[in-house]
Amino acid sequence: MFTGIIEETGTVKQVQNGTSACVLTISAALILSDIHLGDSIAVNGTCLTVCRTDGSSFSADVMPETMRRTNLGTLRQGSKVNLERAMSANGRFGGHIVSGHIDGTGTVRKLQREENAVWVTVAADASVLRYLVEKGSVAIDGISLTVARVSQQDFSVSVIPHTAQQTTLLSRKPGDTVNLECDILAKYTEKLLRPQQHDGISADFLAQHGFL
């Protein structure tokens, strides 16, 4: 579990591509002070498992399903990425509940400055936008942000200077792809409220047997 509060930005050192998977090696500093094999690290919001580390970088296997669902396949040597270690039990919960399981990708539409903040507008599919509400939470490339505006085609967030300095978000340009994770509470709530379909029992079945 993560909070969406980025600890540092790392640099992609190597990408070993397979047919539809890859191994990422990422140089970092802060997060490597307390990292072990098998630990979880969110890379651009995607939960990956550390499979190797040498004190100045770590490597993680990226399976085909993750490549299909995220923007990790666009990374190249030298790419900057947002990094966050899994939340510790004694840490502050500064963002929101982030699982590191990407719901889909979006496309940056525009960046617009407003005094000390920058508006970032991202286009996304309806399957993602359905879970976004004004003043709700969303993770963009692993960054916990507040949804300021949402429409049927896109949504917008307002980025403060600290977030701009500590993450890669404002290095994005219109047309770039970003990873999106919606608030997990919305997804669980939707499933719990969804009418349950029991085997062999439906509205038609109940009507045919005089129950409706």
Q: Are residues 79 and 128 in the same domain?
A: no
Domain boundary, last residue among 52, 85, 118: 85
Tokens of 90: 């004694």
116 in a structural domain: yes
DSSP string, 22-79: EEEEEE-SGGGGG--TT-EEEETTEEEEEEEE-SSEEEEEE-HHHHHHSSGGG--TT-
pLDDT of residue 198: 55
Tokens of 38: 């098998």
Q: What are the pLDDT digits (tens) for 161-186?
A: 999 999 999 999 999 999 999 999 88
1 in a structural domain: no
Q: What are the pLDDT digits (tens) for 18-63?
A: 999 999 999 999 999 989 999 999 999 999 999 999 989 999 999 9
13 in a structural domain: yes
175 in a structural domain: yes
Q: Is 161 helix (H, G, I), strand (E, B) or coil?
A: helix
- Residue 53's domain comprises 8-85
Q: Are residues 118 and 186 in the same domain?
A: yes
The pTM of the full predicted model, rounded to 2 decimals, is 0.87
90 in a structural domain: no
Which candidate, 83, 91, 85, places its Cα nearest to that of 142?
83
Q: DSSP code of 169?
A: G
Residues 182, 151: Cα–Cα separation, whole Å: 15
Q: Are residues 72 and 36 in the same domain?
A: yes
Query: Domain total for the chain?
Result: 2
Residue 115, domain CATH:
2.40.30.20
